[in-house]
């Protein structure tokens, strides 16, 4: 059974997938979905409750909360995905080289990773913000710089494990090219590993960026971003606590969905793993 078929049977995974793809679509086509201009200030509507024109109400400057939430998908989700894809690509290439060729190359790459991993990522991020200035792109740059080493290590370990398998030995012995071996036998095996680390780091990165924006180091006002919306809501936490809910719930739902989806993907890609649903059906049919 193919991975896609298995994934389709997994209801939770499909829910997450549908939810995340709609989030991404809404983020890409934000101008069509947002009811109002996200940065338009209208002081007469400060802290107004939900209405037809402003479904989630207005914030301390009278800006539409829903529109801000929708526009914030761009930095909070899309840019994070973009930065992570770059990181995963670097990690995959280096991990493949390091795990497959071993020896000196591996040693050099691993020592580089050790150096990168020995810095706490928060410190590097702060240092880069200190050098290049405040801004989301610098946080993403810092993320790529700190995370690639970790990805490389995880992927290298997987590659090493798989390149000792007999089917790889056979392919080499029978005269397959290195490229064929890597693309047909090693990369597909590491995909499930990549799916898991990718999804788990999406969660941590969304939270991290929200965290830095919350501290005022990420996105700059007035551009909307979930962490910054939380930061702004914090100031009026006692008088208008409901203002924290939309960005908070959005961050929670998106990172939880990525987490669940990653787990389901790993299971779906394992050919030996049969989903509970088919197992039940099989038992029923044998009875």
Partner 1 sequence: MLTVRHVNKTYHNGGFFSNNRQPVLFDVSFEMKSGECLGIIGESGSGKSTLGRLIVGIEKPDRGEILFQGQNVWSREARLGHISAVFQDYSSSINPYFTVLDAISEMLKIMGQCDKKELTHMVVNLLKQVGLNAEYCNKLPHELSGGEAQRVCIARAISTGPQFLVLDEAISSLDASVQTQILNLLKELKERYQMSYLFITHDIQAVTYLCDRVLFFHNGQVIEQSSVSKLSQIKNEYSKKLISSVIPFENIKK
Nearer to partner 1, 272 or 284 (CB): 272
Preceding amide of 172 cis, omega within 30: no
- Residue 254's DSSP bridge partners are none
- Reduce the DSSP state of residue 153 to 3 states and report it: helix
Closest separation in Å from C-beta 101 to partner 1: 13
- Reduce the DSSP state of residue 64 to 3 states and report it: strand
Nearer to partner 1, 112 or 126 (CB): 112
Alpha helices (runs of H) in the chain, residue ranges in sequence order: 3-9, 11-28, 30-33, 65-71, 73, 80-101, 103-117, 121-132, 136-163, 166-173, 178-181, 187-214, 226-234, 245-269, 276-286
Nearer to partner 1, 192 or 201 (CB): 192
Give the other-Cβ count within 10 Å of 184's Cβ: 14
Closest separation in Å from C-beta 262 to partner 1: 19
| Rounded Cα–Cα distance for residues 250 and 246 (Å) | 6
Closest separation in Å from C-beta 97 to partner 1: 17
Listed residue (50, 40, 140, 156) closest to 99, CA to CA: 156
Give the other-Cβ count within 10 Å of 133's Cβ: 11
Nearer to partner 1, 29 or 170 (CB): 170
Nearer to partner 1, 193 or 232 (CB): 193
| Rounded Cα–Cα distance for residues 69 and 238 (Å) | 21
Closest separation in Å from C-beta 5 to partner 1: 14
Closest separation in Å from C-beta 62 to partner 1: 56
Closest separation in Å from C-beta 187 to partner 1: 11
Q: Which residues bind partner 1 (CB under 8 A)?
A: 103, 107, 165-167, 169-177, 180, 184-185, 188-189, 271-272
Nearer to partner 1, 78 or 117 (CB): 117
Nearer to partner 1, 46 or 184 (CB): 184
- Residue 64's DSSP bridge partners are 58
End-to-end CA distance of the chain: 22
Six-digit token string for 158:
């997987």
Closest separation in Å from C-beta 259 to partner 1: 25
């Amino acid at each position: 059974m193919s991975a896609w078929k298995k994934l389709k049977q997994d209801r939770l995974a499909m829910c997450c997938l549908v939810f995340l793809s709609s989030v991404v679509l809404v983020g890409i086509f934000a101008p069509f979905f947002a009811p109002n201009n996200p940065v338009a200030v209208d002081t007469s509507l400060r802290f107004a409750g939900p209405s037809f024109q402003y479904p989630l109400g207005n914030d301390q400057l009278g800006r539409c909360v829903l529109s801000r939430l929708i526009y914030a998908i761009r930095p909070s989700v899309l840019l994070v995905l973009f930065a992570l894809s770059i990181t995963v690509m670097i990690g995959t290439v280096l991990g493949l080289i390091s795990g497959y060729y071993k020896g000196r190359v591996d040693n050099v790459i691993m020592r580089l990773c050790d150096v990168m991993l020995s810095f706490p990522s928060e410190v590097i991020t702060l240092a880069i913000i200190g050098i290049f200035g405040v801004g989301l792109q610098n946080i993403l740059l810092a993320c790529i710089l700190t995370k690639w080493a970790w990805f490389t290590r995880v992927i290298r370990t997987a590659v090493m494990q798989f390149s000792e398998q007999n089917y790889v030995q056979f392919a080499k012995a029978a005269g397959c090219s290195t490229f064929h071996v890597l693309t047909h036998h090693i990369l597909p095996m590491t995909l499930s590993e990549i799916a898991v680390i990718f999804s788990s780091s999406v969660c941590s990165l969304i939270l991290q960026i929200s965290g830095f924006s919350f501290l005022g180091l990420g996105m700059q006002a007035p551009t909307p971003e979930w962490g910054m919306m939380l930061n702004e809501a914090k100031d009026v936490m006692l008088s208008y606590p409901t203002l924290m809910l939309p960005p908070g719930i959005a961050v929670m739902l998106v990172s939880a969905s990525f987490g669940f989806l990653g787990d389901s993907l790993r299971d779906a890609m394992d050919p030996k793993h049969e989903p509970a649903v088919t197992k039940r059906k099989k038992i029923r049919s044998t009875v």
